[in-house]
Homo-oligomer: A and B are copies of this chain.
Amino acid sequence: MIPLITTFGWVPEFARGFVRDMRPRWAFEEVGQPYRVDLITDSKNPEHRRFQPFGQVPTYRDDEVAIFESGAIVLRIAERAGKLIPREPGARMRALQWLVAALNSVEPVVMALAINDIFEADREWSKARHVKVVDALKIRLTDLEAVLGNNAWLDGSEFTVGDLMMISVLRGLRGTAELADFPRLAAYIARGESRPAHRKAMADHMATFNAPAAA
């Protein structure tokens, strides 16, 4: 069967371009794997919940595997295609290390800013706390920019699942002021977004929201 992902058929305007189905879409395009998309309208949909306990998207199915969590899905797409993950054990594990770093060391500080500035914007603590959230974020971004250095990608010249995930996570800072102090990270994100596979994935992702509603 052609792999199938599930994602939302509608999200608020500010979330468009950032829903996590972008991650498998990008991976599919990078490895040249056709895929199908099942659109759901409600995260509380019982059938979806039976498979995805947290009501999140995306989910993924192929002939052998049925999983959720974008990090695991991207790994599956890459391993199944034999692409985006180097074969040599050291380089392979460094690619997985960066994928995990994106999800566990960088995404929490990126999400903390979105939670504070968007979802808790109306709370009395939001403005005062913003400074502290940005401080924690900038410490992490400073370290990340230093280790990227003048490399095109995190492990040097080869684009891997680690870059795919790190750039997907860092894109969450678009629209904030925080990237202005990190020109090499901003260029790294732009380098990822300019890849043909990312452009195609983004066009297909955005087209979902431009489609006329079902009758």
Binding site for B on A (CB under 8 A): 53-56, 64-72, 75-76, 89-90, 93-94, 96-97, 99-101, 103-105, 107-108, 111-112, 120, 123-125, 128-129, 132, 140, 143-144, 146-147
Question: Nearest B residue to A154 by beta-carbon distance?
Answer: B53
Chain B hits for A108, CB < 8 A:
107-108, 111
Nearest residue (CB) in B for A53 is: B147
Q: Which residues of B contact A72 (CB under 8 A)?
A: 93, 96-97, 99-101
* A54, B97: Cβ atoms closer than 8 Å: no
B53, B100, B143, B144: the one within 8 Å of A143 (CB): B53
Across the interface, do B124 and A128 meet the contact criterion of CB distance under 8 Å? yes
In the complex the two chains form, what is the Cα distance from A143 to B55 in whole Å? 9
CB distance from A146 to the nearest CB of B (A): 6
Q: Are A54 and B140 in contact (CB under 8 A)?
A: yes
A13 to chain B, nearest CB (A): 23
Complex contact B67–A146 (CB within 8 A): no
